[in-house]
Amino acid sequence: MWLIVGLGNPGESYAQTRHNIGFQCVNYLARRHSLEFSGKRAHARIAEGHIARQRVVLAKPVTYMNLSGQAVSGLRSWYKIDPAQELLVIYDDLDLPFGKLRFRQRGSAGTHNGMKSIIGQLGNQDFPRLRIGIGQPPPNYDTIGYVLGRFNKEEAADLPDLYERVADAVELVLSEGLTVAMNKYNA
């Protein structure tokens, strides 16, 4: 079984922001596979089903980003998963150009507070993640305002293709493994 967690902030005012790209991607994945976020468990909205012949739980923490670890830790305990083998966290990354995907098998949180929370709650950083590039803010632009801001017109036009690439990438992890997905998408 796989736990696939998209990071974001709850509430309509954050729904289309850069920082919520994780939520947006798991929403797309759920629609693509006719799964519904009809349940709630461990501080997260969840959708359960199958993707690529694997049992999956898609999750969106209902805590704010900085407390995402509460949901991930609770879901790990509830579903009794091994994070190193059965967890995939999808989130935004300022250090990657817009639309660039990068898988990692483990690693630090960098400057991402949601990932800091997850690593802190799990007690280690040994779990797969998919970083989605949102690009850097313009010079002299407030970083918080940038990540909590909406995509510009050009980026917004590219989002449907980005969601599709993320869904394809997640399906590849589920069907052929993380190494195969890393070789394809990290190139």
CATH number for position 105: 3.40.50.1470
What residues pair up with 93 in beta bridges, in sequence order?
133
Q: Which two tokens stand for residue 143?
A: 């970083």
Catalytic amino acids? 19
Of the chain, the end-to-end C-alpha distance in Å amounts to 27
107 closest CA partner among 14, 169, 161, 186: 186
Cα(34)–Cα(4) distance, rounded to whole angstroms?
Answer: 16
User: How many separate domains does the chain show?
Assistant: 1
Torsion 47-51-56-62 (CA) sign? negative
58 closest CA partner among 108, 7, 9: 7
**171 lies in which domain range?**
2-185
Say if CB 71 and CB 5 are below 8 A apart.
yes
127 closest CA partner among 148, 105, 100: 105
Distances (CA, A) of 133 to 22, 74, 162: 11, 27, 10
pLDDT value at residue 110: 87
119 closest CA partner among 83, 91, 79: 83
Residues of the chain with pLDDT below 50 are: none
- Residues 11-48 have pLDDT tens digits of 999 999 999 999 999 999 999 999 999 999 999 999 99
Cα(109)–Cα(117) distance, rounded to whole angstroms?
Answer: 9
pLDDT value at residue 111: 86
pLDDT value at residue 95: 93
